[in-house]
């Protein structure tokens, strides 16, 4: 089983993932960005603005998730922003074609709260990282119509990551399938 946590920067994906993997038996976090980092070295001559544009990233995320689940079983929690509907469709279809159930959630927060969280996040390495995150809020807002169709939306504006994780566990059930 895959539990995909989508949403923009500051919505709580990383923190909710930590809470969720503690609650969901036999689950582990899978950071699909690591696939993108690996491909940056291999595909450096193919210019993109986001590694998700590389078709191999989408295919390798599917294949890596399938291989990991085949090896250890359980569930993978993937905290990854995907704002291009075509890319999400490819990933979801690839996982489903491999017989892996996919539960897609969008952690949503209002813009003012997102801006505050981005400015107070202790993780960004530089002010450039803060600005990059702020610059991507409009792309998230533009993607919301299709995200609302494709996923269960959990508003994290007023709830803790622990509560968001509990809502997800209640939705998918306690045991990975």
Asked if pLDDT for residue 126 goes beyond 80, the answer is no
Residue spans of the domains in the chain: they are 2-169
Cα 56 from chain centroid (whole Å): 18
pLDDT at position 117: 83
Which tens digits make up the pLDDT trace of 44-78?
A: 999 998 899 999 999 999 999 999 999 999 999 99
Report the pLDDT value the prediction gives residue 127, as an integer from 0 to 100.
62
Candidates 2.160.10.10, 2.60.40.10, 3.50.50.60, 3.40.50.300; CATH matching 2-169: 3.40.50.300
Sheet holding 152-155, edge to edge: 27-29, 75-79, 2-6, 102-108, 152-155
Task: Band the pLDDT of 123: cuts 50, 70, 90.
Answer: low
pTM of the model: 0.92
Q: Of how many residues is the chain composed?
A: 177
pLDDT reported for residue 174: 65
Return the closest-CA partner of residue 133 out of 9, 32, 41: 9
């Amino acid at each position: 089983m895959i539990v995909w946590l989508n949403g923009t920067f500051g919505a709580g994906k990383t923190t909710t993932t930590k809470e969720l993997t503690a609650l969901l038996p036999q689950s582990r976090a899978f950071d699909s960005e690591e696939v993108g980092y690996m491909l940056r070295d291999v595909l450096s001559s193919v210019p993109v603005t986001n590694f998700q544009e590389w078709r191999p990233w989408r295919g390798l995320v599917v294949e890596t998730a399938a291989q990991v689940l085949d090896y250890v079983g359980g569930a993978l929690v993937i905290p990854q922003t995907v704002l291009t509907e075509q890319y999400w469709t490819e990933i979801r279809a690839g996982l489903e074609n491999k017989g892996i159930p996919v539960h897609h959630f969008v952690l949503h927060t209002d813009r003012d709260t997102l801006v505050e969280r981005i400015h107070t996040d202790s993780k960004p390495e530089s002010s450039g990282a803060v600005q990059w995150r702020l610059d991507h809020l409009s792309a998230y807002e533009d993607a919301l119509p299709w995200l609302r169709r494709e996923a269960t939306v959990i508003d994290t504006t007023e709830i803790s990551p622990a509560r968001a994780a509990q809502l997800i566990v209640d939705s998918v059930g306690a045991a990975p399938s």
